[in-house]
Chains A and B, each alone.
Chain A
Amino acid sequence: MATVSTPASPKTALRMRSAGGMRMRRTVNDVITYILLVLGALLVLIPLLWMIATSLKTESELFLLPLRLFPEVPQWHNYIDVWRIQPFTQFFMNTIFITVLAMGGEILTCALVAYGFARFRFPGRDILFITMLGTMMLPGVVTLIPTFLIWRGFERIDTFTPLTVGALFAWGPAYIFLLRQFFLTIPREIEESATIDGANTLQTFFYVMLPLVKPALLTIAVLSFTGNWNNFQAPLIYINTPQKYPVILALYSFSESLSKEAPKWHYMMAMTVIMSLPIVALYFAAQRYFIEGLTVGAVKG
């Protein structure tokens, strides 16, 4: 199905001789389009439904045949049980602590750096900017071990420090790039009038420029929140004490304990739902910024 149709402008419609046949073909194409879209949507939705349905089943219903999507009686208490098996309140506090600190540091420093690159001329600026973009290509695995050794040298293994403090060094070249693009669209006159009013660079930055790029800041906030919330490798390497686990490590340790004889998939799926829910909620609340963040840079180049 590789058809692309465009809405016919009035001019083209007039030019078409067999308008009726054309309309017929359009309708057929539309029907096929919707059928394909629904099929695709089913492929997306069924696994998700299965995840939620499983989380509401009893253990004996897990492998019941014939297959039934929904359990006889939804076992809502699975969620309470899960909360009892592992101290999820603690895990959520840990996750939120890490995410908020990392996100805050990331946004503030990236905005400062982006402002520097966007508005001030200094020798070597373009080379530094290209170097920064180049680091986007770098696989983190090369820096992984020395970075670990640095934190080990500071005796910060098994603390939240390696997961958060690095953010103060303007993590995320993509965020800097996006913010710079936004700063570039703001007319210079605005800053000049702020300067005439007696504002210094920092005042101009915080009171004039930042409010103007609020959409970009929100975009980054959303992307950074999800990035830190879902980060798995760093906590896996740096955190050892179960009390300090973020939710994602709790999921990992539970999945490790899943036994072949009595696989508690209903609990596992309940935990996955718990882990995903905040992110899904955030997505629905901030969809606009999500989409914007994804497309900037890709399309406009």
Chain B
Amino acid sequence: MVDFYARTLIDYAVVALGMAVAMFIVFQVLVRLGMKREAATGYALILPWLLGFIVWTAYPILASLYYSFTNYNVFQPPKWVGLDNYVKWLTNDRSFWPSLRLTLLYGLISLPIGLALSLGVAMLLARNVRGVGVWRTLYYLPAIIPTVATILLWRWLLGSEGLVNQIMSPLYNLIGMDKPSWFVDERYALPGLIIMSLWGVFGANTVILLAGLKNIPTHLYEAVELDGGGAWAKFRHVTLPMISPTLFYTLVLGVIAAVKTFEPGIFIKLNSLTTGTFLQVLVYGNAFAGGNSRMGYASALGWIMLIIIMVLTLLVFRSSALWVYYEGERK
């Protein structure tokens, strides 16, 4: 019954042993070739990463670039079709543009709101409140719950007869609005997804930002007080500049994570023609789900996502000169 465990255990042992032998051989060969022992040891030690980089990163990137110019259904060898995947398929795929819109809007809206809320909570916790540990644990809780569990929970909470609609129904009556069918109605799908993402947002970001806030020297605040500055001045001229490197870090990671969003699109059936779905789900759907696997087109979509992430990251990096303040950096 458990021979599938044994099979993987054998694979695992073979690769582990192979890795050890490879490290030994690299060391021996380099030393024989007259390299210093220190350098040879260094190369031998980083070998697992170096091999992994070649096999699991460099080769796949180039291969997926190649596949993106082919028509490939796994069963027949890839057939070169030039730019067809990027031009013909993309214009014919009626779920691409809605999905691009959904993915980008999701990131652009939930990211800043999430960061502002996390910063708010972090600032409250930084005020020497009693039992910081307990509060921090509490606010971190949603982030520990597996993403998948969070999504299922919110699908339940945001059902048309779910808790949120029940609690809000007096408000809906007041403004004369029907109960929204979250996720089903294209008008409410995006807000629903954003609400869901915001619930877990405090977790890691708040912990990171709190640590950043604690690193701000108090004498800076005292200086503002001496100059007669109030709470806003302290925030504007001390907190914000001093926390900006940490904000920058969370923003970069957030951009990448937002474009890569996958699980909500799988667990929540979104109408890909009207609402759109997450780009990553399109890749998965084309490559692995359903009978016809379109590896070529899926690879092209993957490359489009890579380019989007690179452009967004670059924009964040470029803009950082305007708003990120590094202490010790000369202007």
Contacts and interface: CB of A to CB of B under 8 A. Distances in A.
B42 A125 contact: yes
A160 B9 CA distance: 9
Contacts of B128: 7
Contacts of B5: 97, 160
Contact of B163 (A1, A67, A160, A252): A67
Interface stretch (A74-82, A210-218, A264-272): A264-272
B86 interface: no
A226 B120 CA distance: 27
A135 B57 CA distance: 8
Interface of A: 1-7, 9, 12, 15, 29-30, 33-34, 36-37, 40-41, 43-45, 47-48, 50-51, 54, 63, 65, 67, 97, 101, 105, 109, 112-113, 115-117, 119-123, 125, 128, 131-132, 135, 137-150, 152, 156, 159-161, 164-166, 168-171, 176, 201, 226, 229-230, 232-233, 236-237, 244, 248, 251-252, 255, 263, 265, 268-269, 272, 275-276, 279-280, 283-284, 287, 290-291, 294-295, 297-299, 301
B56 interface: yes
A276 B302 contact: no
Interface of B: 4-5, 7-9, 11-12, 15-16, 19, 38-46, 48-53, 55-57, 59-61, 63-64, 67, 74, 120-121, 123-129, 135-142, 144-149, 152-157, 159, 161, 163, 166-167, 199, 202, 204, 207-208, 211-213, 215, 218, 221-222, 225-226, 231-232, 234-235, 238-239, 245-246, 249-250, 252, 256, 259-260, 262-263, 266-267, 280, 283-284, 287-288, 295, 298-299, 302-303, 305-306, 309-310, 313
B127 A41 contact: no
A142 B222 contact: no
A276 B146 contact: yes
B250 to A, nearest CB: 7
B156 A268 contact: yes
Nearest to B126: A4
A105 B283 contact: no
Contact of B149 (A122, A143, A276): A276
Contact of A161 (B8, B142, B302): B8
A9 B217 CA distance: 13
A33 B97 CA distance: 44
Contacts of A63: 161
Contacts of A36: 120, 124
Contact of A2 (B121, B123, B144, B156): B123
Contacts of B212: 298-299
B237 to A, nearest CB: 11
A166 B56 contact: yes
Nearest to B155: A255
B133 to A, nearest CB: 8
Contact of A146 (B45, B67, B139): B67
A279 B145 contact: yes
Contact of B48 (A37, A54, A170, A299): A170
Given A160-B8, A299-B246, 5 more contacts: A51-B156, A63-B161, A116-B44, A142-B305, A166-B56
B245 A226 contact: no
B318 to A, nearest CB: 15
A294 B204 contact: yes
A40 B120 CA distance: 10
A90 B271 CA distance: 34
B328 to A, nearest CB: 11
Nearest to B287: A145
B12 A165 contact: yes
Which of B7, B12, B298 has the most chain A CB atoms inside 10 A of its CB? B12
Contacts of B63: 145-146, 149
B203 to A, nearest CB: 9
23 contacts: A2-B120, A3-B234, A4-B123, A5-B127, A7-B128, A29-B127, A37-B125, A43-B199, A44-B202, A63-B161, A105-B12, A113-B48, A116-B43, A138-B306, A141-B260, A141-B280, A142-B64, A170-B49, A232-B148, A232-B262, A265-B156, A298-B250, A301-B245
A295 B212 CA distance: 9
Given A159-B7, A168-B12, A145 B45 contact: no
Contacts of A48: 141-142, 145
A37 B124 contact: yes
A116 B121 contact: no
